[in-house]
Amino acid sequence: MCRHIAWLGEAEPLGDILVKPVHGLLRQSWAPRHQRYGTVNADGFGVGWYAEGDPAPARYRRAGPIWADLSFADLARVVRSRAVLAAVRDATAPGADGEAAAAPFAADRWLFSHNGALTGWPVSAASQAASLPVVELLAMESRCDSALVWALVLHRLREGDGAGQALADTVLDLAAAAPGSRLNLLLTDGPSITATAWGDTLWYLAEPGRRTVVASEPYDDDPRWHRVPDRTLLEATRTDVLLTPLKEPPA
């Protein structure tokens, strides 16, 4: 349904991470190599990044395809960051909510993306939505399934859960409420990346001390890319990557 990427390393122009690689996110918007569902990601895109000394991320999002946005091409050439999260979107419901439904979603110091779909949306997610305080439901940026997934994750983060626990518990609860859902989640706070592989592809490339990249698919043919097994939680920093299996919820 989407392609997304999170990157940690020395300060690089956004274009070197998202545009220049031969199979980078720009190309994945029309020619993904490993996407299991959908073929073109033209229903919006977004990129979030952190400026030096500022823990709150900036975002640039649009409702149209990334390849058609000339302003982004110029921005990507000059903006540099040590931490980036970006996504291109193939909407579950085409046209729904426009730019507001494009990842990354953001709050506090966090950036978030969801690659996948909730089966039976929105009925299947009613029980999960009901678990949120009304004020948090009203604060959702859009009515799409990804916005609800983000609201559930953010609620757990603000209640004190660590990033890994927040993502794992959200995935397991949603998988129980809506079996067959695809729940590849991607989260960063700048120093770290947390992700899940649940129903679609996820890869990582780690060069300790230089860069850590977690993405739906490799952006080049470097043999050091590793595929993350399905039903796995990934937790990474600039120096380390930890993989933890996630158990299927009981039937």
> pLDDT tens, 227-242?
999 999 999 999 999 9
Question: Residue 122 corresponds to which amino acid?
Answer: P
Lookup: tokens for 6: 């999170």
Percent of the chain with pLDDT over 90: 88
154-183 average pLDDT score: 97
Reported in sequence order, the residue ranges of 78-165 that DSSP labels E, i.e. its strands, are 80-89, 105-107, 110-117
Q: How confident is the model at residue 61 (pLDDT cuts 50, 70, 90)?
A: very high
In whole angstroms, what is the distance from residue 28 CA to residue 67 CA?
10
Third-level CATH fold of 2-245 = Glutamine Phosphoribosylpyrophosphate, subunit 1, domain 1 (3.60.20)
Q: Taking Cα atoms as reference points, which of 82, 78, 86, 79 lies closest to residue 29?
A: 86
pLDDT on residue 248: 78
pLDDT(36) > 90: no
Q: Could you give the C-alpha distances from 13 to 84, 100, 221, 244, in angstroms and in order? A: 10, 25, 20, 32
Residue 30's pLDDT is what?
94
Number of C-beta neighbours around residue 123 at 10 A: 10
pLDDT of amino acid 95: 47
Q: What is the largest CA-CA distance in the chain?
A: 50
Give residue 15's pLDDT band: very low, low, confident or very high (50, 70, 90): very high
**Looking at the predicted structure, is the pLDDT value of residue 175 above 70?**
yes
Average pLDDT score over the chain = 94
What's the CA gap between 241 and 243, in Å, rounded?
7
Residue 17's pLDDT band (cuts 50, 70, 90): very high
Task: Spell out the domain ranges in the chain.
Answer: 2-245
Question: Which residues 6+ apart lie within 8 Å of 148 measured at CB?
Answer: 118, 122, 125, 128, 129, 140
Which residue among the candidates 1, 2, 19, 195 is catalytic per the annotation? 2
Closest CA to 145 of 114, 173, 190, 172: 114
Task: Establish whether the linkage from the previous residue to 122 is cis, with ω within 30° of 0.
Answer: yes
Decide if pLDDT at 251 tops 90.
no
| 8 A C-beta contact, residue 151 and residue 140 | yes
Taking the mean position of all CA atoms in its chain, how far away is CA 207? Answer: 21
Nearest partner of 90 among 131, 132, 30, 140, judged by Cα: 30
pLDDT for the residue 19: 97
Q: How far is residue 140's CA from residue 151's CA, in Å, rounded to a whole number?
A: 7
- Stated pTM of the model: 0.96
Give the gyration radius of the chain's Cα atoms.
16
What average pLDDT does the segment 75-90 reach? 97
* Tens-digit pLDDT profile for residues 87-141: 999 887 654 568 999 999 999 999 999 999 999 999 999 999 999 999 999 999 9
> What whole-number distance in Å separates Cα of residue 182 and Cα of residue 137?
22
Active site includes 2? yes
Q: How confident is the model at residue 209 (pLDDT cuts 50, 70, 90)?
A: confident
Q: What distance in Å separates the CA atoms of residue 210 and residue 239, rounded to the nearest whole number?
A: 8
